[in-house]
Amino acid sequence: VAILTLYASPPLIQAIFNGDPEEIRMLIYNFSDLSLGPQEAVRVLIRHSADVNARDKNWQTPLHVAAANNALRCAEVIIPLLSSVNVSDRGGRTALHHAALNGHTEMVNLLLAKGANINAFDKKDGRALHWAAFMGHLDVVCLLVSQGAEISCKDKRGYTPLHTAASSGQIAVVKHLLNLAVEIDSVDKDGNTPLHIAARYGHELLINTLITSGADFHGMFPLHLAALNAHSDCCRKLLSSGSCTR
């Protein structure tokens, strides 16, 4: 009966019982061959002594991978078996960093509910809020701020979340942060404000948003940065706003 039961089991379970690591790996990466979902697969692997704290070459644990890929149900299986959800990978990023970076709002919510440190920083002092702002994940930004993320935190470059959003041209995130009354003229370690950063990377619409919101030109003119990086449209925008005379 046991043999019949095993024979009738999904391929992944058969591979686990057979102890064939290559077959297990192949089946996990080829979901079309599986007769059970990822959550059930994780449960089976754990029942057969899979290490929930195992790390890959980047020091990422199964929770890091689940968070990055929005495998919510898998994370729910793994988290109760962990001593902490704040373990860092080689780059200093926690599962929360990965969830925020990839815009997975539900995963961010789950991790916070399970004790994730909302202000944990990676090796470059980047917080989850920095990464969500940089990638333009407004829903995640709103969630993190509502749960107490520090909106004026700085990374090793001196970038605030407003700087990181400006560097990648994320207008919606910039507008939201400005509505929260963040310091629009906060400077990084090189004395650059978010307006300087927007000019450097050629984000014309964002330049307009920052200028109309009252950004100061602050020492080195953003026009210089726009010209240095050959952003002609941004140069025209800055010239029309009178930046070269301020």
Name which of 20-24, 114-118, 125-129 the model is least confident about: 20-24
pLDDT value of residue 55: 87
pLDDT value of residue 44: 72
Residue predicted with more confidence, 48 or 225? 48
Residue 101 has pLDDT above 60, yes or no: yes
Which of the listed ranges 21-25, 146-150, 193-197 does the model predict with the highest average pLDDT? 146-150
Residue with tokens 């025209």: 236
pLDDT value of residue 246: 44
Residue predicted with more confidence, 200 or 168? 168
- The whole-chain average pLDDT of the chain stands at 82
Domains in the chain: ranges and CATH: 1-50 (no CATH), 58-147 (1.25.40.20), 151-246 (1.25.40.20)
Residue 102 has pLDDT above 50, yes or no: yes
Over residues 120-136, mean pLDDT? 98
Residue predicted with more confidence, 44 or 177? 177
Over residues 26-37, mean pLDDT? 57
Name which of 11-20, 147-156, 198-207, 232-241 the model is least confident about: 11-20
Residue 32 has pLDDT above 70, yes or no: no
181 contacts: CB under 8 Å, gap ≥ 6:
none
The phi and psi torsions of 106 (rounded to 5 degrees) equal -65, -40
Residue 21 has pLDDT above 70, yes or no: no
pLDDT bin (cut points 50, 70, 90) of residue 180 is very high
% of the chain residues with pLDDT over 90: 53
Over residues 22-50, mean pLDDT? 65
